[in-house]
Amino acid sequence: MKLTEQFWDESYKNNDIGWDLGEISPPLKTYFDQLTDKDLKILIPGGGNCYEAEYLHSQGFKNVYVVDLSKTALDNIKRRVPSFPSAHLIHMNFFDLDMTFDIIIEQTFFCAINPNLRPLYTIKTSELLYDHGKVVGLLFDAPLNADKPPFGGNKSEYMNHFHTRYTIKIMEQARNSHPSRTGKELFFKIIKKP
Ligand SMILES: C[S@@+](CC[C@H](N)C(=O)[O-])C[C@H]1O[C@@H](n2cnc3c(N)ncnc32)[C@H](O)[C@@H]1O
């Protein structure tokens, strides 16, 4: 299966977006609510309709960026949240991005890329972070599909990927998942190694 820009954009155009919760993912809301520095530079890769970016923006976070291959998804955010800075909605392949952030948020992006790109995800996220920057978010804790997204995984597999460049601070079953994902996802926080 070719996970091209066209594939993702048509999914949004056809509203074939089973992954879309229609609201901010509860564990991410809990995480965001304890952040106090509104100047943090935050990237949400493969953010899609990105209720997470909308929430952060509504809470006064000024440096929130979304990168996505789907222009339709980014246009949806623009339409829903007209005050969200257009320049922070980046229509690009995540792997081509060249910027630097404090935090990268993971929410059903890792499971959407071809699993053979997982080592590159580890490298690319670490390149996009300032020293001691972090990746925080959710990962599926189930095998899921072998031939199309969502591609699953488990804690030991994820730790194997990330330990090369990150210190694993948290990787545990999420406590307040969206009901449709209860018991099926891990909340994680990993810090870039110096
Ligand atoms: C399964 S969806 C998840 C969207 C959103 N995070 C959510 O939870 O609703 C995967 C998203 O990643 C985007 N995407 C896939 N590959 C990408 C890439 N290489 N660079 C940027 N975005 C990508 C797709 O367009 C899509 O919006």
At 118 the three-state DSSP class reads helix
Cα of 175 to ligand 1 centre, how many Å? 24
Q: What angle do CA 40, 156, 144 make, to 5 degrees?
A: 90
Q: What is the pTM of this model?
A: 0.98
Which sequence spans correspond to the domains of the chain?
5-12+26-192
If you write DSSP's letter for every residue of 49-80 in order, what string do you get?
T-HHHHHHHHTT--EEEEEES-HHHHHHHHHH
Q: Is 67 in the pocket of ligand 1 (CB under 6 A)?
A: yes
Q: Is 8 in the pocket of ligand 1 (CB under 6 A)?
A: yes
CA distances from 99 to 43, 65, 91, 96, 125 (A): 10, 10, 14, 10, 10
Predicted local confidence at residue 60, as pLDDT: 98
The model's confidence at residue 18, banded by pLDDT at 50, 70 and 90, is very high
Residue nearest to atom 12 of ligand 1 (CA): 46
88-99 average pLDDT score:
98
Architecture of the domain delimited by 5-12+26-192: 3-Layer(aba) Sandwich (3.40)
Predicted local confidence at residue 140, as pLDDT: 97
Cα of 47 to ligand 1 centre, how many Å? 6
Cα of 118 to ligand 1 centre, how many Å? 14
Tokens of 93: 């392949």
Q: Report the alpha-carbon distance of residue 127 to residue 164 in Å, rounded.
A: 13
For residue 64, what are the β-bridge partners?
42
**Could you identify the residue written with the tokens 């980014």?**
74
The model's confidence at residue 1, banded by pLDDT at 50, 70 and 90, is confident
